[in-house]
Structure 1
Amino acid sequence: MSKKDRLKARSQQQIRERREREEEEREEREAARYRQSKSAKKLLNKTKYGRYGKEPLGFLFLRLLMLVPFAWSGIYYGLIVIFGTFGGFIEPQPPKWVGWTMLAGDAIVLAGIIIEYLKKHIPAFVSVAVGTGLYLKASQYFINYLTDRLGKVYVDEGIKDIDREYMKHHYPMAAVAVLELCILVWWIIIKVRAAKRKKHEEETAPVKSIVEE
C-alpha cells in the first residue's frame, strides 16, 4: 500500500472515529436532556406537596377534626345562645349584639372551613381566626354577663357554676383556629422544603454543552 493510500485510510478512520464520538456525545446529551426533563416533571409534582407530589393525609385528618369543635360549640351550643338571645329564652337576657356577634362568628368560621376544604390555606386561616375571635368575644361577654347577674341574686346551688359549664360549651371553638393554624404551618414547611429542593436540583442540573449550541 502506497503512502498516499495509507494517509487516505488513516484520514477515513479518523473521520469514522470522529463521527462515532459525535454520535456518542449526541446520545449522552439526549440522555441528559431526558433525565433533566423527567426530573423537572417530578419537581413540578413535588413543588406543591412535597415528596410524593400529593397532599398529606394529615391535612384531611385535621380538616375532619376541625368539624368536631365547630359542631359542638359553633353549631349546637352557639345556636342555642343565638336563638335564646333573639327569642328571649335566656334569663337573664343578654344584649342582642351578643347573638349577632356570635352568629357572625359562626358564619365566618364556616366560610373558613369551606375555604380550607378548597385547599386555600391562607384565606382559610384568616377567616377562621376572625370568626373564632368574634365567637369567643361574644361567648366571653355572655359568660361574664351571666356570672355578674347571677352573683347579684340568690340562685340554687345547681346553677352557681353555670359559668364553668358555658366555658365547656363555647371555648372548644378555639380548637378550630388552632387546627387551622397547624395546617397552615405544615403547608408553609412543605412549601419551604419544596423551594429548597427545587433550588438544589436547578443548581445540580446538567449544563447545556457548547457543542450542542
Structure 2
Amino acid sequence: MSSEARVARGPVGTGLVAMALLLGGGPAGAGDSMVDPVGPIFVPAPAALSAGAGAGPGGAAAVLRGAAAFCGALQPAYQVSCLGDRIAAAAAALPRGPETAEARKALEAAAARLDRLAREARDPDMPQITARSTGPQPQRTQGPLVPVAPARQADIRAEALEVVAEAQTVLLRSTSRSAERQAQFVEIAQALESGKVLLRS
C-alpha cells in the first residue's frame, strides 16, 4: 500500500503541492521513512486551469496551456513525466466521439511515449511523486510522476520535444480532413507549445 508525504506548503487556497509516493512492496522497514524529494514548492495555480478547463476541445487546450506552469514548479527530473500526465489529462478532457477521435489518439500516443521515455531513464535514487494545485479548481496528476536521472535529462527532454512536435503535426494535418474540426485541432496543437516551452527551459 502506498502512502503520501506532503512536501510543499503554503497559504491555503492557492498553489501547487507535491507529495512523495512511498511505494510499498518490500519488507517492512524498507522505504518506510517519510521523504521530502522536491523541497518546498508553492506557486499560484496556472491561470489557464483556474479559468475553467471543462470537458471539450477548449478544456483540453486549457489543460495544455497550463502545463508549463503546473509542471515547471517541480524539479526538472519530474517535468517530462508531468508533461505526459498533463497531455493524458487533456486527452481525457475531450468528449468521446468521432469528431474528436483523431485528436484524442494523437494526445494519448504522445502521453504514452513521454511516460515511456521517463521510465526508461528513471532515477532509482528519487521517489515517484504526485502533484496538485489548490484553489477554486484544484488539479492533480492522474498518476505518480517518474523522475529522470540527471545524466539522461538533456537527451530525454530533446526526445520529448520531438514527441510533442510530432503530435502537433498530426493534429494540424488532421484539420485538412474536416473544416468543422479545424479550429478545435489548431487550438489544441497551439496549446502544446506550452509543453515545448517547458522542455526547452
Which TM bucket (shorter chain)?
A: 0.3 to 0.5
TM-score, normalised with respect to structure 2:
0.37
- Which structure is higher in strand share? 2
| Bigger Cα Rg | 1
TM-score, normalised with respect to structure 1:
0.35
